[in-house]
């Protein structure tokens, strides 16, 4: 985490503007991975997509976004509609985003060219596109 020898490892929380950090990774399949977003209206609701460190792909080949609604005390796996196995893609640091609607949707892009939407805060996932070039960045705007 921050200030450590491996700043890319850990799902951490600071309640004092970065002066100190604590792990909130208990309950996640991995504490490695880059994609993380915070709910636009609730700072205790956070979404993360853990990856396996060695392969930088979905743990066990079963992708999921994980959500906490209590600041990292517990996590829920959100995978309805996502592939159940043999999906070893990577979601890069800037390839997960959330819109700013009342019931926000999440979006992520994969290095294998898929763009996914998770409606109702990730409760149901659908693939919007499945044959794009590798996706490095996803940014969402409501107009």
Mean pLDDT value across the chain: 90
Please state, in angstroms and rounded to a whole number, the distance separating the CA atoms of residues 143 and 140: 10
Answer for the pair 118, 106: CB distance below 8 angstroms, yes or no. yes
The more confident residue out of 58 and 104 is 104
Strand order of the β-sheet with 124-129 is: 96-98, 106-109, 115-118, 124-129
The residues spanned by each domain of the chain are 12-129
Which pLDDT score, from 0 to 100, does residue 67 have? 97
More confident residue, 143 or 122: 122
Instruction: Read off the pTM.
Output: 0.90
Q: Residue 8: which pLDDT band, with cuts at 50, 70 and 90?
A: low
Cα distance between residue 94 and residue 116, in whole Å: 14
The three-class DSSP label of residue 75 is coil
Phi, psi torsion values for 36, nearest 5 degrees: -155, 135
């Amino acid at each position: 985490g921050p200030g450590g020898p491996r700043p890319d490892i850990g799902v951490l929380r600071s309640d004092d503007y970065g002066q100190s950090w604590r792990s909130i990774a208990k309950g996640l399949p991995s504490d490695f991975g880059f994609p993380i977003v915070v709910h636009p209206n609730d700072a205790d609701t956070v979404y993360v997509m853990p990856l396996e460190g060695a392969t930088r792909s979905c743990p066990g080949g079963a992708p999921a976004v994980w959500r906490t609604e209590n600041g990292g005390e517990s996590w829920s796996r959100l995978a309805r509609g996502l592939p159940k196995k043999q999906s070893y893609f990577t979601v890069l640091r800037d390839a997960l985003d959330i819109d700013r609607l009342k019931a926000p949707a999440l979006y992520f892009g994969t290095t294998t060219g898929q763009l996914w939407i998770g409606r109702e805060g990730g409760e149901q996932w659908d693939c919007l596109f499945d044959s794009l070039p590798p996706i490095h960045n996803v940014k969402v705007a409501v107009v």
